[in-house]
Protein backbone atom coordinates (compact mmCIF):
# COMPACT_ATOMS: atom_id res chain seq x y z
CA UNK A 1 0.00 0.00 0.00
CA UNK A 2 1.40 3.36 -1.01
CA UNK A 3 2.23 5.79 1.79
CA UNK A 4 -0.04 8.85 2.09
CA UNK A 5 1.12 12.11 0.56
CA UNK A 6 2.27 14.12 3.58
CA UNK A 7 2.18 17.48 1.79
CA UNK A 8 -1.02 16.96 -0.16
CA UNK A 9 -2.47 20.39 0.69
CA UNK A 10 0.80 22.34 0.80
CA UNK A 11 2.02 25.08 -1.50
CA UNK A 12 5.82 25.24 -1.36
CA UNK A 13 8.02 28.09 -2.55
CA UNK A 14 11.63 27.07 -3.19
CA UNK A 15 14.30 29.64 -4.07
CA UNK A 16 17.46 28.52 -5.83
CA UNK A 17 15.31 25.84 -7.44
CA UNK A 18 17.10 25.93 -10.78
CA UNK A 19 19.62 23.25 -9.81
CA UNK A 20 21.50 21.42 -7.08
CA UNK A 21 19.93 21.24 -3.63
CA UNK A 22 17.04 23.52 -4.58
CA UNK A 23 16.03 21.35 -7.52
CA UNK A 24 16.31 18.16 -5.46
CA UNK A 25 14.14 19.64 -2.71
CA UNK A 26 11.57 20.78 -5.27
CA UNK A 27 11.35 17.27 -6.72
CA UNK A 28 10.91 15.72 -3.28
CA UNK A 29 8.26 18.24 -2.22
CA UNK A 30 6.28 17.52 -5.37
CA UNK A 31 6.62 13.78 -4.80
CA UNK A 32 5.13 14.28 -1.34
CA UNK A 33 2.08 15.96 -2.88
CA UNK A 34 2.92 19.67 -2.66
CA UNK A 35 2.39 22.17 -5.41
CA UNK A 36 5.76 23.82 -6.01
CA UNK A 37 6.58 27.41 -6.90
CA UNK A 38 10.13 27.00 -8.20
CA UNK A 39 12.12 30.25 -8.21
CA UNK A 40 15.60 30.97 -9.51
CA UNK A 41 17.61 33.91 -10.79
CA UNK A 42 17.82 31.87 -13.99
CA UNK A 43 14.21 31.67 -15.11
CA UNK A 44 14.97 29.03 -17.73
CA UNK A 45 16.54 26.77 -15.09
CA UNK A 46 13.46 27.19 -12.89
CA UNK A 47 11.25 26.15 -15.79
CA UNK A 48 13.44 23.08 -16.36
CA UNK A 49 12.91 22.12 -12.73
CA UNK A 50 9.14 22.44 -13.10
CA UNK A 51 9.28 20.04 -16.04
CA UNK A 52 10.83 17.44 -13.73
CA UNK A 53 8.17 17.68 -11.05
CA UNK A 54 5.66 14.94 -10.47
CA UNK A 55 3.02 14.52 -7.80
CA UNK A 56 -0.59 15.61 -7.86
CA UNK A 57 -0.14 19.20 -6.72
CA UNK A 58 -3.62 19.27 -5.21
CA UNK A 59 -3.42 22.57 -3.36
CA UNK A 60 -6.58 24.67 -3.20
CA UNK A 61 -6.91 27.40 -5.78
CA UNK A 62 -4.88 25.72 -8.52
CA UNK A 63 -5.66 22.97 -11.02
CA UNK A 64 -4.56 19.42 -10.34
CA UNK A 65 -0.90 18.86 -11.09
CA UNK A 66 -0.08 22.58 -10.99
CA UNK A 67 3.49 23.75 -10.45
CA UNK A 68 4.91 27.07 -11.60
CA UNK A 69 8.29 28.69 -12.29
CA UNK A 70 9.31 32.18 -11.19
CA UNK A 71 12.35 34.37 -11.79
CA UNK A 72 13.69 36.68 -9.08
CA UNK A 73 16.88 38.13 -7.63
CA UNK A 74 16.24 37.46 -3.95
CA UNK A 75 18.97 39.91 -2.90
CA UNK A 76 16.72 42.81 -3.96
CA UNK A 77 13.95 43.79 -1.53
CA UNK A 78 11.51 44.78 -4.25
CA UNK A 79 12.08 41.51 -6.10
CA UNK A 80 11.47 39.42 -2.97
CA UNK A 81 8.19 41.21 -2.29
CA UNK A 82 7.09 40.88 -5.90
CA UNK A 83 7.91 37.17 -5.84
CA UNK A 84 5.53 36.56 -2.94
CA UNK A 85 2.88 38.67 -4.66
CA UNK A 86 3.28 36.69 -7.88
CA UNK A 87 3.06 33.35 -6.08
CA UNK A 88 -0.09 34.45 -4.26
CA UNK A 89 -1.63 35.70 -7.50
CA UNK A 90 -0.84 32.40 -9.22
CA UNK A 91 -2.07 30.07 -6.48
CA UNK A 92 -4.63 32.31 -4.71
CA UNK A 93 -2.87 32.02 -1.34
CA UNK A 94 0.57 32.46 0.21
CA UNK A 95 2.96 29.50 0.32
CA UNK A 96 2.60 27.40 3.46
CA UNK A 97 6.15 26.07 3.03
CA UNK A 98 9.09 28.30 2.08
CA UNK A 99 12.55 26.84 1.47
CA UNK A 100 15.38 29.32 0.88
CA UNK A 101 18.12 27.55 -1.10
CA UNK A 102 19.41 30.44 -3.22
CA UNK A 103 23.13 30.89 -2.67
CA UNK A 104 26.39 31.72 -4.40
CA UNK A 105 30.12 31.41 -3.78
CA UNK A 106 32.95 33.76 -4.68
CA UNK A 107 35.86 31.81 -3.24
CA UNK A 108 39.23 33.45 -2.63
CA UNK A 109 41.74 33.57 0.16
CA UNK A 110 41.22 36.41 2.64
CA UNK A 111 44.42 38.23 1.66
CA UNK A 112 43.17 38.58 -1.91
CA UNK A 113 39.37 38.73 -1.58
CA UNK A 114 37.77 41.82 -3.09
CA UNK A 115 35.13 43.82 -1.27
CA UNK A 116 32.81 43.21 -4.21
CA UNK A 117 33.04 39.43 -3.82
CA UNK A 118 32.41 39.76 -0.09
CA UNK A 119 29.35 41.95 -0.70
CA UNK A 120 27.86 39.72 -3.39
CA UNK A 121 27.96 36.60 -1.22
CA UNK A 122 26.49 38.36 1.81
CA UNK A 123 23.79 39.96 -0.37
CA UNK A 124 22.52 36.67 -1.79
CA UNK A 125 23.25 34.17 0.98
CA UNK A 126 22.28 36.25 4.01
CA UNK A 127 20.36 39.34 2.93
CA UNK A 128 18.42 37.28 0.39
CA UNK A 129 17.28 34.83 3.07
CA UNK A 130 16.29 37.74 5.32
CA UNK A 131 14.23 39.35 2.54
CA UNK A 132 12.44 36.13 1.54
CA UNK A 133 11.82 35.23 5.19
CA UNK A 134 10.39 38.67 5.89
CA UNK A 135 8.18 38.75 2.79
CA UNK A 136 6.89 35.22 3.39
CA UNK A 137 6.21 35.85 7.08
CA UNK A 138 4.37 39.09 6.29
CA UNK A 139 2.20 37.29 3.74
CA UNK A 140 1.38 34.47 6.16
CA UNK A 141 0.60 36.78 9.08
CA UNK A 142 -1.60 39.07 7.00
CA UNK A 143 -3.57 36.09 5.69
CA UNK A 144 -3.84 34.43 9.09
CA UNK A 145 -2.29 31.22 7.77
CA UNK A 146 0.26 29.03 9.57
CA UNK A 147 3.38 27.93 7.75
CA UNK A 148 6.93 26.64 7.83
CA UNK A 149 10.02 28.52 6.68
CA UNK A 150 13.20 26.52 6.12
CA UNK A 151 16.57 28.15 5.51
CA UNK A 152 19.49 26.21 4.07
CA UNK A 153 22.76 26.94 5.85
CA UNK A 154 26.03 25.03 5.66
CA UNK A 155 28.17 22.98 7.99
CA UNK A 156 30.89 25.53 7.14
CA UNK A 157 28.94 28.21 9.01
CA UNK A 158 28.23 26.10 12.09
CA UNK A 159 30.16 27.25 15.16
CA UNK A 160 32.02 24.54 17.09
CA UNK A 161 34.12 24.55 20.22
CA UNK A 162 37.33 23.63 18.40
CA UNK A 163 38.76 26.38 16.21
CA UNK A 164 40.34 23.74 14.00
CA UNK A 165 36.86 22.65 12.90
CA UNK A 166 35.36 26.07 12.17
CA UNK A 167 35.07 27.62 8.71
CA UNK A 168 36.78 26.66 5.47
CA UNK A 169 39.87 27.98 3.71
CA UNK A 170 39.07 30.40 0.92
CA UNK A 171 35.49 30.93 2.08
CA UNK A 172 35.50 33.67 4.72
CA UNK A 173 32.61 35.36 2.91
CA UNK A 174 30.60 32.16 2.50
CA UNK A 175 31.22 30.97 6.07
CA UNK A 176 30.16 34.35 7.47
CA UNK A 177 26.98 34.35 5.39
CA UNK A 178 25.99 30.84 6.48
CA UNK A 179 26.74 31.51 10.15
CA UNK A 180 24.51 34.56 9.79
CA UNK A 181 21.71 32.38 8.44
CA UNK A 182 21.84 30.29 11.62
CA UNK A 183 21.55 33.34 13.87
CA UNK A 184 18.83 34.88 11.73
CA UNK A 185 16.77 31.70 11.77
CA UNK A 186 17.07 31.14 15.51
CA UNK A 187 16.05 34.73 16.28
CA UNK A 188 13.20 34.71 13.77
CA UNK A 189 11.86 31.50 15.32
CA UNK A 190 11.37 33.31 18.61
CA UNK A 191 9.49 36.14 16.93
CA UNK A 192 7.30 34.18 14.53
CA UNK A 193 6.26 31.21 16.66
CA UNK A 194 3.34 33.13 18.16
CA UNK A 195 1.98 33.62 14.64
CA UNK A 196 1.95 29.90 13.92
CA UNK A 197 5.04 30.09 11.71
CA UNK A 198 7.67 27.42 12.28
CA UNK A 199 11.28 28.21 11.45
CA UNK A 200 13.90 25.62 10.66
CA UNK A 201 17.49 25.68 9.50
CA UNK A 202 19.09 22.85 7.59
CA UNK A 203 22.77 22.14 6.98
CA UNK A 204 24.24 20.78 3.80
CA UNK A 205 26.44 17.71 4.17
CA UNK A 206 29.93 18.02 5.66
CA UNK A 207 31.43 16.80 2.39
CA UNK A 208 31.62 19.42 -0.34
CA UNK A 209 28.82 18.77 -2.79
CA UNK A 210 29.91 18.30 -6.36
CA UNK A 211 28.15 20.97 -8.38
CA UNK A 212 29.09 24.10 -10.31
CA UNK A 213 30.19 25.74 -7.02
CA UNK A 214 32.80 23.09 -6.23
CA UNK A 215 33.97 23.14 -9.85
CA UNK A 216 34.71 26.85 -9.46
CA UNK A 217 36.49 26.16 -6.17
CA UNK A 218 38.82 23.76 -7.95
CA UNK A 219 39.65 26.38 -10.56
CA UNK A 220 40.08 29.36 -8.23
CA UNK A 221 41.75 27.77 -5.22
CA UNK A 222 43.44 24.94 -7.13
CA UNK A 223 42.40 22.48 -4.42
CA UNK A 224 41.49 18.84 -4.82
CA UNK A 225 37.74 18.85 -4.40
CA UNK A 226 36.48 15.28 -4.82
CA UNK A 227 34.00 14.75 -7.61
CA UNK A 228 30.83 13.35 -6.03
CA angle 153, 99, 79 (to 5 degrees): 100
Higher pLDDT, 19 or 1: 19
Note the pLDDT of residue 36.
96
Cross-sheet strand order for the sheet of 197-203? 68-71, 35-40, 11-15, 97-100, 147-153, 197-203
Instruction: Tell me the domain boundaries of the chain.
Output: 11-221
Note the pLDDT of residue 201.
47
Note the pLDDT of residue 50.
95
Under 8 Å between Cβ of 217 and 208: yes
Q: Which of 174, 184, 201, 214 is catalytic?
A: 174
What is the number of alpha carbons within 13 Å of residue 55 lying toward its C-beta? 29
Global pTM reads: 0.81
CATH topology of domain 11-221: Rossmann fold (3.40.50)
Cβ neighbourhood burial of 64 (10 Å; 0-12, 13-18, 19+): exposed
Give residue 7's pLDDT band: very low, low, confident or very high (50, 70, 90).
Answer: confident
Q: Tens digits of per-residue pLDDT, 93-127?
A: 999 999 999 999 999 999 999 999 999 999 999 99
For range 37-41, the mean pLDDT: 97
174 in active site = yes
Q: Tens digits of per-residue pLDDT, 161-199?
A: 455 566 788 999 999 999 999 999 989 888 888 887 765
Amino acid sequence: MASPLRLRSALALVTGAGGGIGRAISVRLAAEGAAVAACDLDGAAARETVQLLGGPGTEEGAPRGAHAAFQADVSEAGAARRLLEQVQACFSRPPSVVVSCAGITRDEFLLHMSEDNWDKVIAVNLKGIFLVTQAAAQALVSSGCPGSIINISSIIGKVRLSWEEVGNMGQTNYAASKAGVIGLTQSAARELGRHGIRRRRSFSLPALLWNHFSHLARLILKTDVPER
